[in-house]
Structure 1
Amino acid sequence: MELEFVAAIDEVGAEAWNSAAGVDYPFTRYEFLYALEASGAVAKDKGWQPHHLILRRESQIVGVMPFYLKTHSYGEYVFDWSWADAYQRHGRPYYPKLLSSIPFTPATGPRLCLVDESDRGEVMAALAKALPVHAAEIGASSVHILFSRAEMANIWSQEGFMQRIGPQYHWYDRNYGDFEGFLAEFSSRKRKSLRKERRVVAEQGLSLQVLAGAEVSAEQWRFFFHCYQLTYAKRSGHGGYLPEAFFTQLAATMPVHLVMVLASHGDEPVAVALNFRDKHTLYGRYWGCIREYEFLHFEACYYQGIEYCLREGLRHFDPGAQGEHKIQRGFTPILTYSNHWLADADFSNAVQRFLDDEQLHVGQYLREASEMLPFKKAD
């Protein structure tokens, strides 16, 4: 098997890339990754230099894996700033590092994508040896694989890549049938609280509509991007990582994966949430508003998403990173996984000790957080 690294995804092309990556999970689709590059959201001067792995057998592509050479740790959601700081304090370079991740997207999913799944064990064993060699060749301090599925993360761990866990909060359909069926599983007090939130939204004169990607107008996309920029300006003092051209291109090339929740006050749009979807999962990604309304964020980002899943037969709702407030609204604390290999043996040993300690704390947190779920105790 031959390994090749390319500096732009268009060197591979949509048909060849998607033959390995598939077209269901949205974030490894050629169209998504290409839009990041074509819009300038990821580039060498942005600290996200594409360095995608292509696997060939007898000149045929049999696998792909998105990779980037990173010169910082922004936009990853698995925080290793303290590792970088430790390297710097000891006079050693942490950047560049070699990262397999979906930029700005903390959504669990495939990273190593293969045409033939029966090859996976052999390929992962080979990559576990080849990736550290390649990192040394290009002067990278380390290799990181973020937000893999649990079974893949465990294999990487068995192959010598340290494993890191973290918490997120996801919703799962337990055969609820509809939203009332979902609420029926809540304790009486929690059910009353959630119903109050939804009632207050309506009493403020707000209405919400859910639009499939192909139904969203150019004007609504402009409104979304304005809200997206406002959100980042409030949080971080900048206009966001993603340019308008990124979203415009996605609207044209993969609308089937896009779901927009638009909130209006009368005829005026006031807030918007953008989701992605595949056959089984809804992924909440971006939210913004031009005016604050009580409980509107919960309605647009959580309750409308749950109703959409129940209506469309999606079994899983990943609403994005962070947000402990999701638990009392029926989102279960779950583990996310990443894997890490560091060339420097001393730092690798120190990081392993850190991860062992962190794992104990995260495990304890998940046990305690699960006690905050709103469901009847018998469940």
Structure 2
Amino acid sequence: MLLEDETGAVLGAVPAYLKSHSQGEYVFDHSWADAFYRAGGDYYPKLQISVPFTPATGRRFLIGPGINREAGLQALAAGLVQVCQRTGASSVHATFLTKGEWDGLGDLGYLQRTDQQFHWENHGYESFDEFLTDLASRKRKAIKKERREALCADGIEVEWVTGPDLTEAHWDAFYGFYMDTGSRKWGRPYLNRNFFSLINERLAERTLLILAKRHGRYIAGALNFIGSETLFGRHWGCCEDHPFLHFELCYYQAIDFAIANGLKRVEAGAQGAHKLARGYLPATTYSAHWIAHEGLHQAVADYLEQERFAVERENEALADQAPFKKGD
């Protein structure tokens, strides 16, 4: 949806999808859809503002330079409601917003939702060992033990592959890991083989594969995307099980890469309180929702008020259990 002036010049934009399901969003509203269906309503289609299959925070409402951001956001938010009304959609869902967008949409009457991820922050570390010095002794020893057991197991070697070094052979191996692990864990892997070739064609310089090899054969891998300040962990898979190899490839090697390349943080995907012990701290994520039906709007509003409180309390409790030295 575009925001234009009287001459047709584009002042702002927001990408949106008209969806007939709630798959691939990482902000779950299935229970809202079920409740509305039981009450005789049609929740789908709905209007979704997101990066598909990607639980990464970023700007969703794009406003041109020199344009008042508050006025631009207000115009785009009102325009989305009009699109909803014209298409018969039940609702608008803007997910993984920046905090500023979330605040602004809340002021405009959108329902506000929070959730939780775990992020590692780089405090100017020169090495992984320097990062470990910030941890409590017991946690530091536990991580060192996990890394030793993962990397010393029967000749396992780890490679970082990015840019022009990425080949179709690498993607063949990773796709095998993805399909095997996804089929066992989730049941419906949704990315096809061509997707990974398109990554290689268009995003190779922004793509990092962390691969484990044993006896000359790749056995596991983690797919990451390299942002200007952040390493985004996306998918993991393996064809052999080895203790702590998942933690090594997805969390510790990601930290190593971020330190070596001066990145400020690692976002290791959605959910997972087990990341806390590996130095990843709870971070709040934000979404905003407009619902046309007054009854469903009020029911969701009541639920979200309780959910926001619960997310805040859980983040505070988890932060108290962080592996870092107390008082630092």
TM-score (normalised: structure 2): 0.96
- Larger RCO, structure (CA 8 Å, separation 6 or more): 2
- Deviation readout 1:231-256 (Å, 9 max, x if unpaired): 21012223x11111122112111211
Q: Are 2:126 and 1:209 aligned?
A: no
Q: 1:271-290 counterparts in 2 under 5 A?
A: 271-290=220-239
C-alpha contact 1:128 1:160 (8 A) present in aligned 2: no
How far is 1:117 from its partner? 6.0
Q: 1:165-314 counterparts in 2 under 5 A?
A: 165-204=114-153, 205-238=155-188, 240-314=189-263
How far is 1:329 from its partner? 0.7
Name which of 11, 24, 45 aligns with 1:96.
Answer: 45
Letter in 1 for 2:183: A
- Deviation readout 1:27-71 (Å, 9 max, x if unpaired): xxxxxxxxxxxxxxxxxxxxxxxxxx2333433334332211111
Off by >6 Å, runs of 4+ in structure 1? none
* Structure 2 unmatched ranges of 5 or more: none
Aligned to 2:2: 54
C-alpha contact 2:49 2:94 (8 A) present in aligned 1: yes
C-alpha contact 1:261 1:273 (8 A) present in aligned 2: yes
CA RMSD of aligned residues (A): 1.2
Separation of aligned partners in 2, 1:272 and 1:123: 42
* Structure 1 unmatched ranges of 5 or more: 1-52
- Deviation readout 1:71-106 (Å, 9 max, x if unpaired): 111111111111101101110000000000111111
Letter in 2 for 1:216: L
Letter in 2 for 1:248: S
Separation of aligned partners in 1, 2:198 and 2:21: 26
Q: What's the secondary structure of 2:287's corresponding residue?
A: strand
Q: What's the secondary structure of 2:22's corresponding residue?
A: coil
Q: What's the secondary structure of 1:319's corresponding residue?
A: strand
Aligned to 1:105: 54
Aligned to 1:114: 63
Name which of 303, 307, 310 aligns with 1:361.
Answer: 310
C-alpha contact 2:61 2:76 (8 A) present in aligned 1: no
Q: 1:16-165 counterparts in 2 under 5 A?
A: 53-57=1-5, 58-116=7-65, 118-165=67-114
TM-score (normalised: structure 1): 0.84
How many pairs does the alignment contain?
A: 326
